Amino acid sequence: MGSTTILSQDTLPVRWDYSDLYVSYPAEARDHQLEGTVVVWVRVDERGNVKSWRIVNSMSDPLDSAVISGIRSLRFKPRAINGRAVANGEAYVRFSFGGHYGGHGLDQYEHAVVNYNALLDMPEHTIGVLYYTERFYGRGRVRFIHGDIERARTDYDIARKRGCELPWYGKVQHDLVDPLLPHDTTSRDSLMKYAQLLSEYQLPLEALDMLLRIMAKYGEQQDVILELAKCYGFVQDWQKKWDMYRWCIQHGDTTTSVRLAASWAAYLARDDRSAVELCEELADKYPDDQNIQGNYGLALLTLERYAEATAIYQRIEDMEGDPSYYMLSDLKRHIGIGFPGKDKAREILRDVFKIPVLYIP
């Protein structure tokens, strides 16, 4: 059976099978009063069975396991569209879990259920969505909400404002993105907002195209460059990401862009001499910033300059920082890509800083 991506003119409403709802929520999530929202990209077959999923955005790692457990046991039931059954499809689903104290301790939880019915308005390809949200508190349904979401062809700010008011509504990826291309294409601000929306909805290639068009028309400006850096990271073009941060350093740096630049400079230290020089320059300029000092230490480790790296991490320790925190995080980040200094870094942690082997990756 082939698959199809659900677009604005072919929307998959989400319906729930409640049979396993209560047993699927992990006890540890209730015990720790976990609350938050996780956005998941879900693939289902024509019978509504979940075939695969991936976490798109999460407020808490422990919530991920709760969501995955829920996806395994819950079932999506796509309805027919225009008289035909929906084939395999993908849709954003927003899970909301919360723990609340009941009369006898923490024995209840809350689950938000969202149902969508698509109202198609061809040929404009706009879409209105009727929604309702059922809130479950323990085993009892306590609230029923219904209403309309504004039509997708609206001003960006209106759509965003409405979205913030509805924290549980799921999104089909293109429903709120594609129709939001600003009518006023001469306004830099409206184009920039649209590019940020594309990036937020995990459409980095489209965002890059929009940002490059903005830069070609309005020139190089720091907010565009920083957004470009983020999108280049999404598509794993590390060199261009680094180039964007380096531009920010050269044109009026901020603490945030400096730290980001230092991080990526360390990442590219083996292949880019200017990256190492920038790490050293920033370390001299910000001697009390443990984050920047740690990235300089990482660059030195990457170049196998172990004595200098050790001195940097000892300086962090003298600042009442935790050298192992930076080295451990750097090790974890680089072990997977064959970081040449990882064995020596382990040795430094063990012999110089007396970090127990148990905590060294």
Work out the number of other CB atoms within 10 angstroms of the CB of residue 252. 8
Rounded-to-integer distance, Cα 245 and Cα 253, Å: 9
Reported confidence tier of residue 167, pLDDT bands at 50, 70, 90: very low
Give pLDDT, residue 231.
80
The pLDDT, as a whole number, for residue 189 is 78
What whole-number distance in Å separates Cα of residue 323 and Cα of residue 351?
13
Neighbours of 214 (CB within 10 A): 20
Does residue 207 or residue 153 have the better pLDDT? 207
Residue with the bigger pLDDT between 46 and 200: it is: 200
- Map out the domains of the chain with their CATH numbers: 18-178 (no CATH), 237-359 (1.25.40)
Q: Which residues contact 71 (CB under 8 A, 6 or more apart)?
A: 40, 42, 50, 53
pLDDT for 140 equals 36
Looking at residue 179, its pLDDT comes to 46
Q: Is the pLDDT of residue 259 over 80?
A: no
Specify the pLDDT at position 319: 72
Higher pLDDT, 263 or 92: 263
Token pair, residue 331, equals: 């090790």
pLDDT of res. 210: 77
Query: Which residue is it, tokens 């990401």?
Result: 241
Which of 176-180, 209-213, 269-273 holds the top average pLDDT? Answer: 209-213
Q: Whole-angstrom Cα distance, residue 137 to residue 103? A: 13
Contact indicator for 361, 328 with CB cutoff of 8 Å = yes
Q: What is the structure's pLDDT at 207?
A: 77
Closest CA to 241 of 226, 220, 255: 226
List the single range of 14-18, 57-61, 309-313, 341-345 with lowest mean pLDDT: 14-18
- The predicted model scores a pTM of 0.36
Per-residue pLDDT, 201: 60
The pLDDT value recorded for residue 246 is 74
- CA–CA separation, 243 vs 234, rounded Å? 15
pLDDT at 212: 82
Alpha helices (H) in 201-352, listed in sequence order: 204-218, 222-234, 238-250, 255-267, 273-285, 290-302, 306-318, 323-335, 342-351
More confident residue, 102 or 260: 260
Q: Is 335 helix (H, G, I), strand (E, B) or coil?
A: helix
Highest mean pLDDT pick, 142-151, 156-165, 261-270, 282-291: 282-291
- Name the percent of the chain lying above pLDDT 90: 0
Nearest to 326 by CA among 280, 259, 278: 259
- Of the listed ranges 70-74, 158-162, 178-182, the least confidently predicted one is 158-162
Average per-residue pLDDT for the chain: 55
pLDDT at 355: 60
CA-CA distance, 130 to 149, in Å (whole number)? 7
